[in-house]
Each structure stands twice: as C-alpha cells, then as structure tokens.
Structure 1
C-alpha cells in the first residue's frame, strides 16, 4: 500500500507542478531521462540476477505481440464500422495497441504484486513492447504516415535498423543483459545494496515524470476514437491476454497474473511519440496517454482484484 501511495502522490504532484508552472518547459523529458538512464537499469540488473529462467518466461515475452495483434483486429474492424481515417487507425495501433510496460508497469507491479515479481515487466518489455514498437510499429508508422514523401524499401529498412539499434542501446535492456551475464558471479553486498537503493527511485520519479507530461484537452471529434482506444487498452487487451494465458499456456499463476496486469497498463508514451512524429493524429495520441494514465489508476486495482480470484 505504501508503494501505491507513493505512486499516486508523485503522479498528482507532477500534474500540480505542471499546472503551477513551477518547473521549466520540458522538465518531464528530463525526469524521464533520469528514470531510463538510472532508475530502471538498477531495477533491471537486480531483476535479471534473481528471476527464474524457465519456459514460463515465454508467456510475458509474448504479451506485447498478442496485444498488438488483437489491436490490429479490433481497430481494423472499428475503422470500417466508424469510418476512421488511416491516421487515426495508425495512432490507435501505436498508442492503444502497446502497453506502458516500464514507466507505469514497473511501479504498479511493485505496488500490487511486490518487488519480487518486477522482473516480469522486463520480460514484457525487452522481447515484447520494445521490439513491437521497433518492427511492426515502425513499419505501420512508415506506411500510414502522411508526412513521408516516399515509402521506399531502403528508407524503411534504414528506419527499422535504426529502431533496433535504439532497442539494443536502451539502458534497461542493457542492464538486464548485464544482470543475466553476472548471475553466477558473487558480488559484494554493499554493491547490491547500493544498486537496490538507486532502484528505489523508480516509482516516485517515473510517476512524477508521467504527471508532468499529462495534458487533458479534448479536441473536436476525438471522443469516439478516444473511447475505442481506452476500451481496448484498459479492458479488452488484458481480457485477451488472460484468455491466452489460461487456454494457450494453461497458466494462471503469479507470472501469468502479472503478465495480464501488464496488458492492462495504459497506452504507451513512446508509441504516442512515434505516432506524433509521423503525423498520425497527434492530438489523439496525446489524449490517449493523458486520459488513459490517470484512468488506469481506477482500472488497475479492479484488474488486481479479478486476478486475485484466479
């Protein structure tokens, strides 16, 4: 409960300081950079040293791919029924089709499931959300972007390779690999304790950064796609992942529950940035993150209760 209190307080503090103008423009990106470069790698390193290595790990690794495939079917149908533009469809795919596995997922897992299961978030992110964003995400953005002058094979390949390089250079991913490489190495207690203390900054800083970046401005015509995006991301996506875990993997244990919980996370910030950079309904992208994040603080406890009944 203390972690949940810290998470909510830091999110609200970030929103409040943004409204009061107490911090300079772009402060959310600076704080987010600290999380990516300092806090998350520390948690990832420790998680890699302690997480079990088994076939069960394939379940969280598949989460992002399952959710993205489900989004393609759901938003593809919605596009036909409601006559959504290709830009809106692309925005929904990149934002509501991918979970915020690190910035929201890590602190929420720690708050609701405990620190010992935070490693599941990295398994959902590194082989999952990061690669989904880098491969099908970039391909989709390139094909649907109204800003692209031409969709040549060379240009597309270059963008995909650039995205893959960003995944490999992602500090939490590198820390995860380092932790795996050093699993059998006995490290000094003072070193591990120091890394653990650094990792404790993850929850307050990540939610503070999200709060600083929230902006609730509903534009004309955004209501329906916003509702569709949030209905899928906060409700249907975790329901789909629960069905996959139960019927395809035959698993409803702690790892499966955390994986479903990760599928229930709000829309992905990096996905919204990719949509914005490619001119795919930028206002909707911002809304999906800004509305979905605080709304998830109501839906995530509900999902935790549902999962506790399994």
Structure 2
C-alpha cells in the first residue's frame, strides 16, 4: 500500500512544484539524467546478480520479448496510419512498449499473488524489461532523436557507452556473487532514488489540460500498453498451453503501466517530453484499475 501512496504522492509533488514555479525549467531533464546515469545502473548492479535459473523461469522471458516485439510492430503500423511525427513515434516506441515491471509489478503482483510469484516478477523485469531498456531503449532514443544520418557505428557506440547497458554487462558476470554488505548498502541507497526522482520528474511535466494534438497518440499508447499487450500475453499462453503461476505473473506484468525510466529517456532525448510524461503519469493511475480488472478475469 505504501508503494501506491509513494507513486501518487511523488507525481503530485512534481505537479505542484511546477505550478508554484519552485524549480527551474531544466529540473525535469536534470532529474531524469540523475535517474538514468546513477540510479538505474545502481539498481541493475544490485538486482541482476541475485538471479537463479529454472525451467519455469523461461516463460516470463519468452512472453516479455514476444509482447514487446509485437507491440513495437503494432505501434509502427499505427504511427504510420495516423501520420504521427518522428518525435511522437519515437516517444510511443518507448513508453508504449517498455513496461513498469519492477516498481509497479512487484507491489501489485505481491498484493494479488503473494511472495511465491516474486521470482517470476524478477525474471520478467531483469531478463525482459531491463535488457530491452538497455539495448532497444538506447537504439530507439538514438535513432529518433538524432536528425543527422544514423549509422550502425553510431548506434553501436551509443549502446556500448550507455551506463545502464554497461552496468548490465558487468552485472551478468556477477550472477551468483554475493556483495560485501557495505557495497550492497551503497547500491541500495542509490537504487532507491530512481522511483521518487523519476516520478517527481513526471509530475513536473504533467498537464491535465492535454493539447488536442496529443490526444490521439496518448490514446494509442495506452490502448496498446494497458489493453493489447496483456491480450498478446494471454494469446501466447494459450498457444503454448501455459496455465501456471509463471504464466499468470507474465500476463500481469505485460499489463503494467509504461515504465517510468522509458518516459525519462524519451524526455531526455527530446521525444515529445510533454506527451511522454502524460502517458507515463496517466498510465500509472489508470493501470491501478486495469490490472485489478485483469486479475479478476485470469486469477
């Protein structure tokens, strides 16, 4: 319950700070940069080495990547159909694809399914969403934000020098390694900053009076993320006859709100910052209802 309160409170704080003109106009960008370059790498280094493997743990990985892949193709088709700008398309390719599988996924699924579901949540998050964020997210941000000619060399260089990706590579080599308590405490302290900082940044850019031109991409993004994505996950489970705890967790994860960090990356890359923040902010609030309905249907 405290996680839900923190989410709503942090967004509200950011929103009212903007209304009172307490922070500078650059505050959202600065906060997003801190989250991406410091908080997120700390979280990756802290969580990834804790992973262990079993046969059932393959299910969340498969579903995560199928859902993201099919959703990305769908967003590209809809963006072309509605003639969205390059900037808006890039924004949707981030916030309508990457799911909030950890901070929302953990408390929501724990509330519905208990501690036994947590290993599957972690796998979906670390081997699905986090890897996609570090690789796919970097590619999308680089491709859609750069007005000059994009080459394989430029994209590769950006991916290889992106702090979360570097952290992931290091963390994969550390799987099974138990950190010194002091190191764990330091990483935990930095990792814990990502949610309040990123959410306040969302609130700083959140506007309840949405411009008319943003309504269509906003609706497309949340329809794909909150409704179509879990339907894709359900279809995959039906095809492979998966009807266990790992499958239910994966369907619930696919239905989570847009990832906060994806919105931060989109904003920092100049990909429709106002729209990106609105999709993340409203998506979080709406997802409390949609995930509850979904669990009633499949749980």
TM exceeding 0.5: yes
Q: Is 1:59 the equivalent of 2:47?
A: no
Give the total of aligned pairs.
Answer: 283
- Tell me the alpha carbon deviations over residues 269-305 of structure 1, each in whole angstroms, 9 at most, x when there is no partner: 23466574xxxxx4xx633531552243122442155
Report the CA distance between 1:262 and its aligned residue: 4.4
What is the TM-score of this pair, normalised by structure 2?
Answer: 0.76
Report the CA distance between 1:306 and its aligned residue: 1.8
What SS is found at the alignment partner of 2:177?
Answer: coil
For structure 2, list consecutive stretches of 5 or more residues without a partner in the other structure: 111-117
Q: Is 1:238 the equivalent of 2:230?
A: yes
What SS is found at the alignment partner of 2:53?
Answer: coil
Q: Which residue number in structure 2 is paired with residue 293 of structure 1?
A: 281
Q: Is 1:122 the equivalent of 2:122?
A: no
Distance 1:92 1:130, change over 3 A: farther
Report the CA distance between 1:35 and its aligned residue: 1.6
The one of 134, 145, 162 aligned to 2:154? 162
Q: Distance in 2 between matches of 1:260 and 1:164?
A: 33
- Tell me the alpha carbon deviations over residues 132-189 of structure 1, each in whole angstroms, 9 at most, x when there is no partner: 34557766x49xx9x66xxxxxx332xx432333333232332232222122434322
Q: Distance in 1 between matches of 2:194 and 2:237?
A: 28
CA RMSD of aligned residues (A): 3.5
Q: Which residue number in structure 1 is paired with residue 114 of structure 2?
A: none
What SS is found at the alignment partner of 2:128?
Answer: helix
| Residue pair 1:133, 1:271 contacting (<8 A) in 2 also | no
Q: Which residue number in structure 2 is paired with residue 132 of structure 1?
A: 136
What is the TM-score of this pair, normalised by structure 1?
Answer: 0.74
For structure 1, list consecutive stretches of 5 or more residues without a partner in the other structure: 149-154, 277-281
Q: Is 1:112 the equivalent of 2:116?
A: no
Q: Which residue number in structure 1 is paired with residue 6 of structure 2?
A: 6
Q: Which residue number in structure 1 is paired with residue 113 of structure 2?
A: none
